[in-house]
Amino acid sequence: MCGISGIINKRKTKVREADIVAMNQLIIHRGPDAEGYFFFENIAFGHRRLSIIDLSENGKQPMNYLENYTIIYNGEIYNYIEIRNQLKELGYSFHSESDTEVIIASYIQWGTDCVRKFNGMWSFALFDKIKKLIFCSRDRFGMKPFYYTEIDDLFIFGSEIKQLLYFQKLKIANFPVLLEYLIPDFEDHTNETFFKNIYKLEQSHSLIYDLNENTYKIFPYYELQIDKTLANLDERDSINYFEDLLKNSIMLRLRSDVKVGTCLSGGLDSSAVASIASILYRQNSIQKFSAFTAKSIEEATDESHFARQVVEKADLDWHITEPSYEEFYKEIDKIIEIQEEPFGSPSIFMQYKVFGKAAENKCTVLLDGQGGDEILLGYERYYPAFLLSLNKRDALRNFIYSSANSGLSKKQLLYYFFYFTSPSLRTAVLHKRFRFIKKKYFDLLNKQSIIQSCASYSNIVNLQKTEIKSLQLPHLLKYEDRNSMAHSIESRLPFLDYRMVESSLSLNNNFKIKNGWTKYILRKSIEPLVPKDIVWRKNKLGFNAPESLWLSSYRQNMLKVIDDSNIVHRISDFDKLRGDFKNLNYRIMWRLYNLAKWEEIFNVCYE
């Protein structure tokens, strides 16, 4: 896991060394173990290394191969051993034990289609001296970031936005993106960022830069595949299939030359990963597998008692962090700077502290349960899509079950049904909640995002694809990447092995939700390993912050910061906002505050 920097001078003159060095210095946290540079004619690469596989000098980057190929790479290819063995049979030789060298050899053998063979997470730029091009790619689900921009005569790319901001005289707010975050709470669902003219290479896409013509093209290399035969498996075979795949995914992600542990919230996903990983880990180690938990100071949002049960049953080496209000108040500016763009709730702070606790304990790699909800219909707001897939009789029966086996009352479930399936109702509700937003700015909202979200509820697989590709997973992965890398920690996500994703979407929907139990197939898979109280939990929290305690104490400070925001004043009727403020829900308060703080920290302006 590392950080990358790149500059192409379109005037075909040398890149200023000071510029690439400055870019690289901004991401030391992503790779504290080493740095390296590569210069050739009008291009410059920079790299920061976090050593995970092959800790020797042989694994350093930028890495050259056969004198004609140079790569800078951030990520892990978990099946690199299998691919390397295949390439050896084809006559390739290797001088390191790293997955980096495997990527280059794969490109030489299979061209840009090589990424289809990779099981992992990646963001890389590979210079092909023979073809005079730079081949860039980002993994299937966007676990590793890749940002790019064009400023004057430079094409610039890197792992973080701040590297690109270094070249900008003015940091200009991208208002359509900003408003979609503030009002419908959509983030990272397009290739645009909160900063105007800074873009991300979307997940499942590659970019080829032609150095002769100074042009580039972006194209998709992957689309989620549905295996219709899996839907025909009966319940027991479906459970066995899923269980075997999850174990294999976790096993691959235990490959490392440094210490590996796991995040453990006490929820279903993290408990499954921790329990299975502990068993697999102990097959090759006499040490206990390490787990890291954030404990909330608020009883309603504290899951640590569930985590404790997992720790005791799986015999884990447990480490707890309990963030206080004082820490939150002291460090929140730092978290906003790390995330680079506004984010949805203070719970990001809890995740940040978990990775910090892992760093304190020299645990460089952490598994996490991210993605389980999206691939197995784990969110309660997915119930409407499931109910719509049933005939009337089964829908009524499952409506009752869904209320009984979740945290939703029948009234709440009915509201969810209409709210998440009706664009006009959702827009009307948002208009009422955000009545302080000036009409001309409310009208800037891209209503298609809301329409797309509501339409996806008519088909479960389409809903899952939409959530995975745009409306849910991308921003969660961004949070994960920034929080882990801020502490020089590599985060690995077993549920997002592409085989897991495709298979989970392909399995019979009646085994994803059964009798109102979300993620039923996962519950049954881990039933022998995980305490019953967790397997059949009805509520879902994750590393939830005690936001009602924190934000109620912080409310007046928040209003003052919001009042100082030029952007908030521009888009809102501030008298209305001030009058409504005490009645706003905490998430809306937070988004307004986070937006104002982001504006202040990054010195953002508008045209």
Q: How far apart are CA 348 and CA 6, in angstroms?
A: 29
Residue corresponding to tokens 């100071």: 297
pTM here? 0.96
- pLDDT over 90 (residue 22): yes
Residues of the chain with CATH 3.60.20.10: 2-220
Q: How far apart are CA 244 and CA 232, in angstroms?
A: 18
Give tens-digit pLDDT for 589-599.
999 999 999 99
Both structure tokens of 386:
């499931």
Mean pLDDT, range 300-309, rounded to an integer: 93
Tally of CB atoms within 10 A around 465: 18
Tell me the average pLDDT of the chain.
Answer: 96
Q: Tell me the residue type at 54.
A: D
Give tens-digit pLDDT for 65-123.
999 999 999 999 999 999 999 999 999 999 999 999 999 999 999 999 999 999 999 99
Predicted local distance difference test score (pLDDT) of residue 144: 98
Residues 149 and 156: beta-carbon distance below 8 Å: yes
Predicted local distance difference test score (pLDDT) of residue 543: 67
Q: How far apart are CA 1 and CA 414, in angstroms?
A: 45
Residue corresponding to tokens 């075997």: 244
- pLDDT over 70 (residue 1): no
> Cis before residue 62, ω within 30 degrees of 0?
yes
Predicted local distance difference test score (pLDDT) of residue 258: 93
Q: How far apart are CA 324 and CA 546, in angstroms?
A: 9
Give tens-digit pLDDT for 136-184.
999 999 999 999 999 999 999 999 999 999 999 999 999 999 999 999 9
Residues of the chain with CATH 3.40.50.620: 228-375+473-535
Residues 70 and 43: beta-carbon distance below 8 Å: no
Paired residues of 206 in beta bridges: 137, 219
What residues contact residue 515 under an 8 Å CB cut-off, 6+ apart? 398, 401, 405
Paired residues of 209 in beta bridges: 134, 216
Mean pLDDT, range 343-362, rounded to an integer: 96
Q: Catalytic positions, please? A: 2
Predicted local distance difference test score (pLDDT) of residue 55: 80
Give tens-digit pLDDT for 425-469.
999 999 999 999 999 999 989 889 999 999 999 999 999 999 999
Percent of the chain with pLDDT over 90: 92
Q: How far apart are CA 433 and CA 428, in angstroms?
A: 9
228-375+473-535 carries CATH number 3.40.50.620: yes
Residue corresponding to tokens 């592409």: 498
DSSP label of 217: E
Predicted local distance difference test score (pLDDT) of residue 544: 77
Predicted local distance difference test score (pLDDT) of residue 553: 83
CB-count exposure of residue 409 (10 Å: 0-12, 13-18, 19+): exposed
Q: How far apart are CA 176 and CA 114, in angstroms?
A: 36
Confidence of residue 542 (pLDDT cuts 50, 70, 90): low
Confidence of residue 13 (pLDDT cuts 50, 70, 90): very high
Q: How far apart are CA 473 and CA 498, in angstroms?
A: 14
Q: Is 512 helix (H, G, I), strand (E, B) or coil?
A: coil
Confidence of residue 23 (pLDDT cuts 50, 70, 90): very high
Residues 226 and 461: beta-carbon distance below 8 Å: yes
CATH topology of domain 2-220: Glutamine Phosphoribosylpyrophosphate, subunit 1, domain 1 (3.60.20)
Confidence of residue 301 (pLDDT cuts 50, 70, 90): confident
- pLDDT over 90 (residue 53): no
Both structure tokens of 604:
């953002």
CA-derived radius of gyration, the chain: 24
DSSP label of 167: T
Whole-angstrom CA distances from 242 to 375, 496, 557 are: 12, 13, 48
Give tens-digit pLDDT for 326-344.
999 999 999 999 999 999 9
Mean pLDDT, range 358-366, rounded to an integer: 97
Tally of CB atoms within 10 A around 31: 24
Residues 18 and 44: beta-carbon distance below 8 Å: no
Give tens-digit pLDDT for 30-40.
999 999 999 99
Predicted local distance difference test score (pLDDT) of residue 300: 83
What residues contact residue 72 under an 8 Å CB cut-off, 6+ apart? 2, 4, 5, 6, 38, 45, 46, 47, 61, 62, 124, 125
Confidence of residue 607 (pLDDT cuts 50, 70, 90): confident
Q: ∠585-444-163 over CA atoms, to 5°?
A: 85
Q: Residue 72: how many CA atoms within 13 Å on its side-chain side?
A: 28
Q: How far apart are CA 286 and CA 283, in angstroms?
A: 8
Residue corresponding to tokens 């020089």: 488
